[in-house]
A = this chain, B = another copy of it.
């Protein structure tokens, strides 16, 4: 009786060993442990493999880069309610809710080091950088856009408002403290950056046209 099917597929990807295999779990566990114990800088594929008691080749077989491992670590740690967050009644409340949750995740789990590791690694390997942008950043920004879409439906946004720069600013503020480490990623920081962005949007009613022009250049 063959319990493990060969998993022949037309399209590649997906784990032939089946999802949540021992190998996958061991590798992600090892990576997460190393991230919290030593920080992103000390995480190498060799150490992950050694700690997971898995051959280095096995790691390379399933993950094309360190970034891919970090993305999986992050995903495992992110609670579902963060992604599908409930409507909080206003743009500012929505953003505050999401950012508080995100910062708590970065602060209290391996997710912070994992994200820092992704950013660092993306600087070193253009190939990996592309997958990082497409598979991780893009999906994260969708989360932010959801809040702005709700606000638009509520009529909170000036006409022609482009959310991209706002998302850049919120993300950037987080990255900055995450990478620099000079100040904590706590709730008050989330509240502060959300307040500035929300107020900045509200208080520019007649600048909508200018904003559209100015923001139009962003991706």
Chain A residues within CB distance 8 Å of chain B: 40-41, 116-117, 119-120, 122-126, 129, 133, 137, 164-166, 168-169, 171-177, 179-184, 186, 188-189, 191-193, 195-204, 207, 211, 213-219
A184 and B41 contact, Cβ closer than 8 Å, known pairs A172-B173, A173-B172, A200-B199:
no
- Residues from chain B with Cβ under 8 Å of A202 in the complex: 203
Q: How many copies does the complex hold?
A: 4
**What is the chain B residue whose CB lies nearest that of A169?**
B173
A172 CB to closest chain B CB (Å) equals: 3
A78 CB to closest chain B CB (Å) equals: 19
- Residues from chain B with Cβ under 8 Å of A120 in the complex: 120, 123-124
| Alpha-carbon distance A122/B215, docked complex (angstroms) | 31
Of B137, B168, B191, the residue contacting A173 (CB under 8 A) is B168
CB <8 Å contact, A193 and B217: no
CB <8 Å contact, B124 and A179: no
A215 CB to closest chain B CB (Å) equals: 6
| Alpha-carbon distance A6/B217, docked complex (angstroms) | 56
CB <8 Å contact, A207 and B183: no
CB <8 Å contact, B183 and A218: yes
A139 CB to closest chain B CB (Å) equals: 14
